[in-house]
Amino acid sequence: MSLSISLTVNGAARAVTLDDPRVTLLDLLRERLDLTGTKKGCDRGQCGACTVLLDGRRINACLTLALACDDADVVTIEGLADGDVLHPVQAAFLAHDALQCGFCTPGQIMSAVGLVAEGQAGDDPERVREGMSGNLCRCGAYDGITAAVLDAQRRIAEQGKARAA
């Protein structure tokens, strides 16, 4: 089988021919498409630094084979902001000081975007913490992260209401 795939990354169609079947989605993004915002932490699905949206759902890019992403829609941290206007989750992370060194932050933010879209956590901090347990932060910024996710979720809901009105 050919090692050529087509996928959409941050809204742009990309055609890629891989030189090796072993390439993960994470390595495709970082090493072939120069999208280095997505981080490689553990590379084994345990830390969440590589979290991206695949067909709208948050997943670990390190545990996803690039070849299996043929025809997929991928959104990375680089695809969130609208020009200079930050995505509400990005803005909330700044407002709540939800990071220290920042290495886990792209994964945290993509995971939070996925969590809000899933709509299972509501305004319960415990459900947010549980829902974010796939993202480790070695600086221990968890309090700020939880506050940012709750705040961003509120803002996104308000935006949705404003648009509907």
Partner 1 sequence: MNSFEYVRPATIAEAVAAGAAPGAAFLAGGTNLLDLLKGDLMRPTRLVDVTRLAELGRIERLPGGGVRIGALVRNADLAHDQPFASDFPAVAEALLSGASAQVRNAATVGGNLLQRTRCVWFYDVASACNRRAPGTGCDARGGEGRGDAVLGWSEACIATHPSDFCVPLVALDAVVEIAGPAGRREVPLDLFHRLPGDAPERDSVLAPGELVVAVRLPPEAAAFAAHARYLKLRERTSFAFAVVSAAAALRMEAGGIVAARIALGGVAAKPWRARAAEDVLAGARPDGTVFRRAAEAALADARPSGPDATRIELARRIVARALALAAAGTPARVPALPASPFAPIPGAAAHV
- To the nearest 10 degrees (0 to 180), the angle between helices 105-118 and 88-95 is 120
The Cβ of residue 22 has, within 10 Å, a number of other Cβ atoms equal to 9
38-46, 81-89, 93-101, 147-155 -> range binding partner 1 (CB under 8 A): 38-46
CB of 7 to partner 1, least distance (A): 14
Indicate whether 133 belongs to the interface with partner 1 (CB under 8 A): yes
- Under a CB-based contact definition with an 8 Å cutoff, are residues 14 and 34 in contact? no
CB of 130 to partner 1, least distance (A): 5
Q: Which helix (H) or strand (E) holds 94?
A: helix 88-95
12 backbone φψ class: left, alpha, beta (φ>0; ψ -120 to 50) = beta
Binding pattern to partner 1, positions 16-35, x when CB under 8 A? Answer: ----xxx-x-----------
With b meaning 16 or more CB within 10 Å and e meaning fewer, what string describes 113-128? bbbbeeeebeeeeeeb
Indicate whether 139 belongs to the interface with partner 1 (CB under 8 A): no
Binding pattern to partner 1, positions 92-131, x when CB under 8 A? Answer: -------------------x--xx--x-x---x-xx-xxx
Contact residues for partner 1, defined by CB under 8 A? 1, 3, 20-22, 24, 43-46, 48, 51, 54, 57-60, 62-65, 67-68, 70, 111, 114-115, 118, 120, 124, 126-127, 129-135
